[in-house]
Amino acid sequence: MIYIEDNVPTVKYNNLNTQKAAVFESTVAVTGAVTMASTLVVTGATTFTGRATQPNPVFQQTITDIDTQNATPTIAQILGGIIVHTSVTGAGTATVPTGTAMSSGVTGVAVGSTIKWLYYNDGSQTVTITAATGHTLVGGTAAVTTGKHMKITSICTAANTWVSYLETLM
């Protein structure tokens, strides 16, 4: 297939159909529905009106299985998206990393950086999620019984300071 941008340096027509990255350095007006099949990165002030849809996204996640009574998942494991904890020798704890560890493990971390992840207890004991220094759990600690999971949203609120919201216990 031949694309116009391969042969003409600037497209100066109303319709733009490109397979390459496009950078707009001024105002871009879009009318009608917008469908995205890839990543949209927006910097600076942005206003969206109308409707934008993206097909069902596919996430590249890693399942980390921790087989100890007490666990402290690393930020690298949390960034994988799914932590499975097998606590079998007694009631255990899962301690979220310190705020400093969270910040140092996230490239380009800034206030508002957000990580959504899942903690699943597949062991035979209840596990309590606890916080480390510089990391607050909204609602305090949370007990996760065997065979249950917790959706967690962790947000950077200041330098080396994180707040995690424990969303749904199922």
Read off the pLDDT of each residue in 91-115 and give the average, rounded to a whole number.
95
Instruction: Work out the pLDDT band at 106, boundaries 50, 70, 90.
Output: very high
Ranking 28-37, 66-75, 104-113, 129-138 by mean pLDDT, the lowest is: 28-37
- pLDDT over 70, % of the chain: 69
Read off the pLDDT of each residue in 164-170 and give the average, rounded to a whole number.
82
Q: Which residue has the higher pLDDT, 10 or 124?
A: 124
To 5 degrees, how large is the angle CA 19–CA 25–CA 28?
75
Ranking 42-46, 56-60, 129-133, 146-150 by mean pLDDT, the lowest is: 42-46
Read off the pLDDT of each residue in 93-118 and give the average, rounded to a whole number.
95
Is 70 exceeded by the pLDDT of residue 22? no
Read off the pLDDT of each residue in 42-69 and give the average, rounded to a whole number.
77
What pLDDT does 11 receive? 47
What pLDDT does 36 receive? 64
* Adjacent-strand bridge partners of 84: 65, 120
Order across the sheet with 114-121: list the strands.
Answer: 62-66, 81-85, 114-121, 149-158, 161-169, 135-138
36 Cβ neighbours under 8 A, 6+ residues apart: 52, 53, 54, 55
Q: Using an 8 Å Cβ cutoff, are 123 and 86 in contact?
A: yes
| Residue positions counted in the chain | 170
What pLDDT does 13 receive? 46
